[in-house]
Amino acid sequence: MFVMWYAETGKLGLNRFSQQGGFTLAEILVVITIIGILSAIAVPNWSTLLPTYAVNGAARQVQSELHKLKSRAVSENAAFRLVFSTSSYTVEKYSGGSYQLTGENKALPSGITLAGTSDTTLGFTSRGTSSDSSDKTVKLCNTKGAGKNMVLSNTGRVRIENGTC
């Protein structure tokens, strides 16, 4: 009886459980419309940024590979080089008077190609310097015509520069 009296007077707060919560149809439609408008704005911009991200990622991938190759050349006391094709590169080691394939073949990311006017090899001596007496450049290009130059200086420094294709 005591509980019933509190329930009837609302002192237990039981009345708030009788109200139903949720969203109205109008509120849901407004949120869906806002999401649609934001998506319509964002999707075209995102698709134009993807090729830029791809060429930047490819440049960092090749730069990382060159740094590893330089360390490997010093640690194994042998000359190494990367040989580029239009969409991939291989690692070669100088042994027995000529360069031999090491079996490492890596593809460039999708949509990234090597510019035809670029040098096709970048290599290191056993001392970690460039195997060429002058700077060498490999140019990576994306589908939008933007590019990155991978420059190997004669001292063995690897750097990335902006370029066009």
The domain that holds 51 is classified in CATH as: 3.55.40.10
Total domain count, the chain: 1
Full-model pTM = 0.69
115 contacts 108 by C-beta, under 8 angstroms: no
Domain of 45, in residue numbers: 30-164
Q: Is residue 21 part of a domain?
A: no
Query: In the prediction, which pLDDT does 11 show?
Result: 53
- Residue among 84, 81, 85 at smallest CA distance from 99: 81
Q: How much of the chain, in percent, has pLDDT values that exceed 70?
A: 85
Q: Is residue 6 part of a domain?
A: no
User: What is the β-pairing status of strands 158-164 and 80-84?
Assistant: unpaired
Report pLDDT for 9: 54
Question: Each residue of 48-91: pLDDT tens digit?
Answer: 778 888 899 999 999 999 999 999 999 999 999 999 888 889 99
Q: What pLDDT, on a 0 to 100 scale, did the predictor assign at position 159? A: 94
Q: For the chain, which residues score pLDDT lower than 50?
A: 1-6, 14
Name residues whose C-beta falls within 8 Å of residue 74's C-beta, 6 or more positions apart in sequence: 124, 126, 127, 128
Sheet-wide strand order for 98-107: 98-107, 88-95, 80-84, 121-124
